[in-house]
Amino acid sequence: MAFPITRLRRLRKKEALRAMVRENHVSLDDLIMPLFVCPGEGVKNPISSMPDNYQMSVDVIVEECKELVQLGVRSVLFFGIPESKDEDGTVACQHNGIVQQALRAIRSVSELDELYLIVDVCNCEYTTHGHCGTIVDGDVHNDLTIETLAAQSVSLVKSGADMIAPSDMMDGRVGRIREELDLAGFSNTPIMAYSAKYASGFYGPFREAAESAPSFGDRRTYQMDPANSDEAMREIELDIQEGADIVMVKPALSYLDVIRRTKDKFNIPIAAYNVSGEYSMVKAAGKLGWIDEDRVMKEVLLSIKRAGADIIISYHTKHFARLLSSSNK
Ligand code: PBG
């Protein structure tokens, strides 16, 4: 029935009613906080392009995790900044690798038992050239790279990782990692695949944070063309066939249509990565007084849920948790 019988404004009259008919919510159950772990002791280096985010040494990360848990954050995602790098990123597979050390340190603290530890698996932070794998003839060699990724995954799970999140965009890596994890006795460790990961300008600030900018060329021979979304469906379908437990779309905000297509087409949990550039734009405009930062942050997270994501990886997580805990007081 059309106007004047139907008036949609009736349901917007009071907040209690708006809350009753609200279709989507963001909760701390959905959010994952990324963390950058670096060598040293007592190190907490601010990342200039990502306000309120830091490169932290293992001891500082442990304290940070305690604070996050107290705020109600349930899951973190680790990136490593290693002491030294090599040609094919094998430093990432060492028992004493930087992320491995952080995982063991956290697993030894009983108050952090419930914190869910996810690790980004990729070579770009660990190679001298900053590409995501082994270079042969000027490009990343797919089949050599998936071997190092599988080894890296097993090493990280041995050190205490709860879940593996490969972000490299090599073909066949989910299947290869699944195979190695199963062989090593970790058939119950889930894989969250960065399935539709685009070659995006929105990763700019992250490359400062993780010291992983490629020294030549770019990542367009392995990450997806931002113009494509049918291809994203193929990437996701393949990752599911290879054994991915959760699929991811990344970045989130310029790709909300891809999240929605994934939701409509597949029956699997979907993660979305609210990446560094998306975060920093909100922080910068907030600092300039051009937008209400808290309000925009909540709207951004909600838009990702509404598009169809079940899980959101976001640098806003800690601040979102703080806002929630102060409003509950
Ligand atoms: C590693 C990786 C990147 C991000 C997550 N994992 C960088 C890249 O692909 O260049 C980006 C995250 C962000 O921008 O927040 N391959």
pLDDT per position as a tens digit, 23-58 = 999 999 999 999 999 999 999 999 999 999 999 999
Q: Which atom of ligand 1 is nearest to the CA of 79?
A: 6
- Is residue 329 scored above 90 in pLDDT? no
Distance CA 6, CA 21 (A): 16
Of 109, 120, 117, nearest in space to 66 by CA: 109
With a pLDDT cut of 90, the percent of the chain lying above it is 95
- 3-class SS of residue 315: coil
Candidate of 195, 203, 315 to mutate for ligand 1, largest count of ligand atoms within 8 Å of Cβ: 203
- Is residue 226 scored above 90 in pLDDT? yes
Specify the DSSP element, H or E, that contains 55.
Answer: strand 54-57
Q: What is the mean pLDDT of residues 104-124?
A: 97
Distance CA 51, CA 316 (A): 10
Q: Lowest mean pLDDT: which of 206-210, 230-234, 281-285?
A: 206-210
312, 298 Cβ separation under 8 angstroms:
no
Q: What is the mean pLDDT of residues 122-147?
A: 94
pLDDT digits (tens, 9 = 90+) for 139-190: 999 999 999 999 999 999 999 999 999 999 999 999 999 999 999 999 999 9
Minimal-distance CA residue to ligand 1 atom 2: 167
Strand partners, 197: 250
Distance CA 131, CA 139 (A): 9
Q: How many angstroms does the Cα of residue 40 sit away from the middle of ligand 1?
A: 23
Distances in whole angstroms, Cα of residue 50 to Cα of each of 53, 227, 278, 279, 322: 6, 27, 10, 7, 18
Minimal-distance CA residue to ligand 1 atom 5: 167
Minimal-distance CA residue to ligand 1 atom 6: 167
pLDDT digits (tens, 9 = 90+) for 61-84: 999 999 999 999 999 999 999 999
Q: How many angstroms does the Cα of residue 287 sit away from the middle of ligand 1?
A: 24
Candidate of 36, 53, 206, 300 to mutate for ligand 1, largest count of ligand atoms within 8 Å of Cβ: 206
List residues near ligand 1 (CB under 6 A). Answer: 120, 122, 124, 132, 167, 203, 206-207, 275-276
Catalytic residue flag (residue 197): yes
Helix axes 173-183, 230-242, angle to 10 degrees: 20
Given 85, 250, 283, 318, the catalytic residue:
250
Q: How many angstroms does the Cα of residue 11 sit away from the middle of ligand 1?
A: 42
Given 13, 158, 197, 263, the catalytic residue:
197
Half-sphere exposure of 276 (CA within 13 A, CB side): 22
Distance CA 44, CA 55 (A): 6
pLDDT digits (tens, 9 = 90+) for 290-322: 999 999 999 999 999 999 999 999 999 999 999
Q: Which atom of ligand 1 is nearest to the CA of 169?
A: 16
Minimal-distance CA residue to ligand 1 atom 8: 203
Catalytic residue flag (residue 14): no
pLDDT at 1: 73
Q: How far is CA 203 from the centre of its chain?
A: 12
- Is residue 328 scored above 90 in pLDDT? no
Q: How many angstroms does the Cα of residue 203 sit away from the middle of ligand 1?
A: 6
Distance CA 291, CA 315 (A): 18
Q: Which atom of ligand 1 is nearest to the CA of 120?
A: 6
312, 33 Cβ separation under 8 angstroms:
no
Q: What is the mean pLDDT of residues 219-239?
A: 97
92, 152 Cβ separation under 8 angstroms:
yes
